[in-house]
Amino acid sequence: MNKMTVRDIEVSDKRVLVRVDFNVPLDEKTGAITDDSRIRATLPTINYLIDRGARVILCSHLGRPEGKVVEKLRLVPVAQRLSQILGQQVGVTTNCIGSEAGKSVKSLKSGEVLLLENLRFHSAEEMDSTLFARALARLADIYVNDAFGTSHRSHASIVRVAEYLPSVAGLLLEKELKTLGSILENPAHPFGELIGGAKVSDKVGMLENIMGKVDYLLIGGGMAATFLKAKSYEIGLSLIETDRLDTALGLMQTAARNGVHLLLPVDVAVADELSSKAKVKVVSVENISPHQRIVDIGPQTIKNFYQELRRCKTVFWNGPMGIYEIPQFAEGTKAIAKLLSSLKATTVIGGGSTAEVVTDMGLANKMTFVSTGGGATLKFLGGKALPGVEVLLNKKTQ
Ligand code: 3PG
Ligand code: MG
């Protein structure tokens, strides 16, 4: 990585504004944090700064409040969780800019940590406003981007703020870029990609970019229906992207041209309705009836995928294999997660929901790396520069 990091800059006693991605999943009813991985993932940077006596000012978004104060998207529970994990009090402001934030920063001592309120309570954040970026920048001496998961967004706290402060990468951002960069540039072969989730359109850029690099491409999840339809299978009521059938065909042709072994499901779990009461049946892909929808991959498909995955030295997985939220449609995803955790390969998990599955199953520490990025990971693996990385200072050449 040619970007400067917190290690390359004097932080002692400095006011350091750290953009983190504390956009954690919350329980719909209770509002409790259901997965704190994104908070834990920033500990190396936060501890690094505390240990060196920096005055740490964290800022993040949570959810999509669209420029308004939404009470249930306040960062108080996040600050509480971070306080517990750090074993030191993390204060939280009621507004990320303005006089109260200024006062809180002023009283911050070396080694103390403050969290600014949800950035997206101001529409100026997503509008990449110069004024807003300057208001944030005024609070600090140095800017650190550790929000890998948001680095694909050209928002004020991600890109614009870097115009006003010396700006470097945090340790999580560095680790993400190194790990994902190495699977993109020099993966150990055979290299397998296992892709699921609902939409082909979200993944086309990534799939096109990795075509010349992977040996195996295994496709499951909702998006498999579009590929099956493109191959003229009856897919019943399964949701597909009709405007992506050509894309799917094109991808299959590119795979064949590049010698990529592309596998689609040979059997699937189908149901008449998308509910936990639905009856689930496993059928071969030739036998899907018009009133059924695909909800998961089937056991023979899992076996076929395993045959290829066990040969791999590197595996990247993004996207559930079925509708994971409904327990009886989660079997395929669970089987795949277990299988990956047992491989001797380098296993990299990308993406919000895939990372949540792995964490939920207690398998995160059995994988080589679980990325904190969803959209950011896809964009990066699609070969695109991330705006939040571009703006950081380059390493000085000797
Ligand atoms: C994410 O979870 O995808 C990141 O935190 C970015 O959030 P966004 O998709 O709402 O921009
Ligand atoms: Mg997102």
Identified catalytic residue from 236, 375, 382, 384 = 375
Identified catalytic residue from 332, 352, 373, 374 = 352
| d(CA 375, ligand 2 centre) in Å | 5
Determine the pLDDT at residue 398.
Answer: 64
Q: Clarify whether 375 is annotated catalytic.
A: yes
pLDDT value at 380 more than 90: yes
Closest CA to 18 of 52, 51, 40, 42: 42
Average pLDDT value for residue range 8-30: 97
* Nearest-ligand number for the alpha carbon of 24: 1
Q: Clarify whether 221 is annotated catalytic.
A: no
Using CA atoms, how far apart are residues 261 and 187, in angstroms rounded to an integer?
A: 17
pLDDT classification of 99: cutoffs 50, 70, 90 = very high
Residue type, 371: S
Closest CA to 190 of 316, 42, 368, 22: 316
Cis peptide before 327 (omega within 30 of 0): no
Average pLDDT value for residue range 315-342: 96
Give the tens place of pLDDT for each residue, 110-146: 999 999 999 999 999 999 999 999 999 999 999 999 9
Q: Clarify whether 111 is annotated catalytic.
A: no
Closest CA to 102 of 22, 167, 17, 12: 17
- What sign does the CA torsion over 128, 130, 136, 140 have? positive
Closest CA to 137 of 116, 161, 158, 110: 161
Determine the pLDDT at residue 150.
Answer: 98
The atom number, within ligand 1, closest to the CA of 153 reads 11
For atom 6 of ligand 1, the residue with the nearest CA is 150
Paired residues of 346 in beta bridges: 314
| d(CA 202, ligand 2 centre) in Å | 11
Say yes or no: CB of residue 19 within 6 Å of ligand 1: no
Say yes or no: CB of residue 371 within 6 Å of ligand 1: no
Instruction: Tell which one of 150, 176, 202 to mutate to probe ligand 1, the residue whose CB is within 8 A of the most ligand atoms.
Output: 150
Confirm if 83 and 60 have CB atoms less than 8 A apart: no
Say yes or no: CB of residue 150 within 6 Å of ligand 1: yes
| All residues with CB under 5 Å from ion ligand 2 | 374-375
Using CA atoms, how far apart are residues 68 and 129, in angstroms rounded to an integer?
A: 16
pLDDT classification of 235: cutoffs 50, 70, 90 = very high
Give the tens place of pLDDT for each residue, 255-314: 999 999 999 999 999 999 999 999 999 999 999 999 999 999 999 999 999 999 999 999
Identified catalytic residue from 199, 281, 310, 311 = 199
DSSP state of 153: S
pLDDT classification of 352: cutoffs 50, 70, 90 = confident
Query: What token pair was written down for 385?
Result: 């520069």
Say yes or no: CB of residue 64 within 6 Å of ligand 1: yes
Q: Clarify whether 352 is annotated catalytic.
A: yes
Using CA atoms, how far apart are residues 264 and 14, in angstroms rounded to an integer?
A: 54
